[in-house]
């Protein structure tokens, strides 16, 4: 009903504010767009569930997320995929792993400090009721 729609609208506003901050951080540039098969041909043979910040924004707008936990699952895919695809002890791989770890810590810190527990609980209850 209307209260639920108001809650889900507020969720989308919160998730867009988080996603925008991540997309504007130049450390996370490599994570803003899907990996291009032409430029990185073996990427999709290694990474089974690709994810990126633009795709997450599309999912927000398509109302694919009913809880913060679902959004966080996708952001966790981004940095976990980067650690998986860049295991080498060379400067490029080390730099992108460092940025993946920064992405993980940044998104979890934003959510810890800015998300109210009962707001997420309310979203989870809406999800269960659907």
Ligand X SMILES: CC(=O)c1csc(NC(=O)C2C[NH2+]C2)n1
List interacting residues with ligand X (CB under 6 A).
30-31, 35, 40, 82, 85-86, 88, 92-93, 96
Residue sitting closest to ligand X (CB):
82
Q: 23: exposed, middle or buried (C-beta count within 10 Å: 0-12, 13-18, 19+)?
A: middle
CB of 114 to ligand X, least distance (A): 26
CB of 25 to ligand X, least distance (A): 15
Distances (CA, A) of 84 to 9, 15, 89: 34, 26, 13
CB of 11 to ligand X, least distance (A): 27
DSSP string, 111-125: HHHH--HHHHHHHHH
Of 23, 100, 25, 82, the C-alpha closest to 55 is: 23
Of 120, 128, 117, 11, the C-alpha closest to 64 is: 11
CB of 89 to ligand X, least distance (A): 11
């Amino acid at each position: 009903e209307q209260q639920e729609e108001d809650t889900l609208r507020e969720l989308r506003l919160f998730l867009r504010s988080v996603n925008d901050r991540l997309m504007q951080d130049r450390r996370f540039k490599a994570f803003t767009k899907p990996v291009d098969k032409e430029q990185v041909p073996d990427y999709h043979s290694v990474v089974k569930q690709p994810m990126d910040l633009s795709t997450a924004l599309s999912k927000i707008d398509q109302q694919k997320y009913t809880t913060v936990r679902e959004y966080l699952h996708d952001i966790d895919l981004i940095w976990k995929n980067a650690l998986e695809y860049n295991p080498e002890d060379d400067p490029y791989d080390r730099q992108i792993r460092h940025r993946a770890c920064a992405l993980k810590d940044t998104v979890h810190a934003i959510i810890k400090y800015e998300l109210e527990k009962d707001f997420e609980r309310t979203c989870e209850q809406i999800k269960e009721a659907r």
